[in-house]
Structure 1
Amino acid sequence: MSTFEVPTVDITPYVAAGTTAEKAAVAAAVDAACREVGFIQITGHGVDPAAADGLASAIDDFFALPLETKKQWVRPAAENRGYTAPKSETLALSLGVQSETRMKDFFEAFNVGSAASDYPDIALLAEHYAENTWPEIAGFRERIDAWREEAGRVARTVVAIFDDALGLLPGTIEALAAHPIEVLRMNNYALPDGTTVELDEDFIGMGEHTDYGIVTILWADQAKGLQVLHGGEWHDVSPADGALLINLGDLTTRLTNEQWLSTLHRVKPPIHVVDGIGTIQRRRSAAYFFDGDAEATVGPLPGFVDDAHPRVYSDVTVDEHIQAKLRGSRAGVVNTDAAREADRVLNALS
């Protein structure tokens, strides 16, 4: 692989009331990163380290439970909540990429998100706002909710930066997210102690995919595994101490008519190999997906369609877009509305 680094941007001016000039410098750096890579490492985000420590300990407490215990929190795939066991999903299908061996991704996950009860005075599309179920672990919900609050604040700060970076009126993108579909997915890449796997070229922790919404705020430990597609090659990415990774989702790609591209990424679990048999080094992450209001309509904004940039997307509701993605990744139904993203995956694999 060639030399590659995810751009690092200090967003302190947007967190601590910086000057107009300081904010403009941040916005310009974000614009360059989004046009060139689509993944950014942010510092100066203001997240209390104690919240990150609480998230990490909650992840450890839950995934240390026996598999059969965790399975009691499996929920219907359409709800996008609760526990996902290993090899229950294939993320590449969310892009319409066929797979000979379906449901092969080797991660396990636990999802929580915004619920209908959070917005009692609004008639919501219920399938995107399912109520959460919480494992009976002391302090688990409190630790997770503390992180969700911080991640949500960072997401809205990043969206404000996006407005400035794209030359939009303040609040343009956030207007799509008055009661956003919001999901925190905690991921664990590991095998029980003493378990081994036979290796093949298709063995993968999480398949090639783009994220679905506006922006993703990613906490991850520094174990290797996360890879970003850039320049036709896959590159390893690990956060610096205290940094968060953010990446663009498909809805932002639609809004900008592909001037900013959602980033293709995957997880290839670190494996220690002896005589062709491997054991997986544990890796943890938590992705906070900020996806917009379910009923909001998203299409290219007027300033991003001209003779040099013809319109490449029709309008779609967030509901329609997310539903098609989830039917692929969680129910094994190939997404036929993601041809442009699928082409990027297939070109990378050729």
Structure 2
Amino acid sequence: MFRVPAVDIAAYVDDGTAEERAVVAREVDAACREVGFMQLVGHGVPADVIEGLGAAMDAFFALDADVKRGYVRPACENRGYTPPRTESLSLSLGVEPASRMNDFFEAFNVGRAASEYAGQELPPEHFAENIWPDVVGFEEQVAAYFAEAGRVARTMTRIFGDALGLPASFFPGLTAPSIEVLRMNNYALEPGTTVELDGDLVGMSEHTDFGIVTILWADPIRGLQVLDRDGDWHDVVPDPGALLVNLGDLTARLTNERWLSTMHRVKPPVVDGTIERRRSAAYFHDGNPGAVVAPLEGCVDAAHPPLYDPVTVDEHIRAKLAGSRAGRRNDAAVREGARVLHAQR
């Protein structure tokens, strides 16, 4: 039976003993090997911070559509507002959707900005300045959650290092400064929208996440589906108080697919003839753009030859974003795309 395991990371958040942390590292290793997703508890994110994030999202997405479109930024910046049907995540895998740019979610993105790193030359596409909507409390509430999610992401990389037997300096060296983006998603049809509500309606098409690790808050509503190794899709709903964690492509490359970046999609259910609204917020921790990612020596042997050539974080993320946001098929995602084509639709 398919199951997303729950892992309690309190031993890392609250400075537990070495023995307690070793248990957590083993549980994370098992979850990464078997599923690539986990239900994370003991993460220490205050409930009021999560509630503030939800309130900020509600206030922004309730704005008039024309007002929201005023916050659209160039696709290369990965910031600001994304209107419905202007992306197709499957293109990031090199897989053509049934109709291009057909994902009906809307989103708002914020991230680390170059102005936070005085004196460093950073690619402006990955460290674009944020724009903040004219919504009372939005910036403060979102920034508070952004800081907490970043802390959880860095905690996860510490656990990853222990699980893989790497030096404590490995992931900090790979991720400083890191491309980090919080994408707040709203799955709902705009008032007055007419669309055929059938089984092919896609909230967010099949994709893997791009970087190292993703921290996901989501409403406890069906819609998120995860692909297992047999090519079957399974609904995943967060447990009460849990955050969902999944691996990105760069971690799959590092571990030579000992750990997988699990394929997932969003298909919110139809209730009373319309889409049941669902919210989520994904914090992407993607690494230093100049860092080179290649299979770790400890994950390569005669039985497991290297599956990937070295690539910089910058090159990989650019190719992925050009697919999802700019509509250019990413032909470099050969292994990920093959998994989509193998899936039971």
The equivalent residue for 1:254 is 253
TM-score, normalised with respect to structure 1: 0.96
Q: Which residue of 1 aligns with 2:311?
A: 316
Q: Matched residue of 1:73: which SS?
A: coil
Q: Aligned partners of 2:25 and 2:112: how far apart in 1?
A: 29
| Rounded Cα–Cα distance in structure 2 between residues aligned with 1:89 and 1:126 | 21
Q: Are residues 1:333 and 2:331 paired?
A: no
> Residue 214 of structure 1 contacts residue 290 of structure 1 at CA under 8 Å; is this kept in 2?
yes
- Contact 1:45-1:154 within 8 A present in 2 as well: yes
Deviations 1:208-228 (A, max 9, x none): 000000000000011110000
- Corresponding residue pairs, total: 344
Counterpart residue identity of residue 186, structure 1? M
Aligned to 1:262, what secondary structure does the other structure show? coil
Note if 1:298 corresponds to 2:293: yes
- Asked whether the equivalents of residues 6 and 237 of structure 1 are also in contact (C-alpha less than 8 Å), the reply is yes
1:288 paired residue number: 283
| Separation in structure 2 between the aligned mates of residue 36 and residue 248 of structure 1, nearest angstrom | 12
Q: Is the 8 A contact 1:229 1:263 kept in 2?
A: yes
Q: Contact 1:160–1:171 (CA<8 Å) still a contact in 2?
A: no
Distance 2:49 2:139 in 1: 12
Mapped contact 1:196–1:279 kept (Cα < 8 A): no
Q: Which amino acid aligns with 1:290?
A: H
Q: 1:197–1:279: 8 Å Cα contact kept in structure 2? A: no
Which TM-score applies when normalising by structure 2? 0.98
Equivalent in the alignment of 1:90: 88
1:121 corresponds to which residue?
119
Please list every run of 5 or more consecutive structure 1 residues that lacks an aligned counterpart in the other structure: none
Q: How much has 1:349 moved relative to structure 2?
A: 4.0
1:29 corresponds to which letter in structure 2?
A: E
| Residue of structure 2 in register with 1:5 after alignment | 3
What SS is found at the alignment partner of 2:287?
Answer: coil
Shift of 1:194: 5.8
| Structure 1 moving runs of 4+ over 3 Å | 192-196
Structure 2 match to 1:67: 65
1:107-256 aligned at under 5 Å gives the runs 107-193=105-191, 195-230=193-228, 231-256=230-255
CA distance in 2, matches of 1:5, 1:140: 35
Corresponding position: 1:263 with 2:262 = yes
Q: Quick one: distance in 2 between partners of 1:319 and 1:74?
A: 23
Identity of aligned residues (%): 63
CA distance in 2, matches of 1:52, 1:232: 33
Give the Cα separation in 2 of the matches to 1:199 and 1:222: 22
Over the aligned positions, Cα root-mean-square deviation in angstroms equals 1.1
Aligned to 2:343: 348
1:164-202 alpha-carbon deviations (Å, 9 max, x no partner): 111111131221111100000000000134645213443
Matched letter for residue 269 of structure 1: P
Give the match's secondary structure for 1:160.
helix
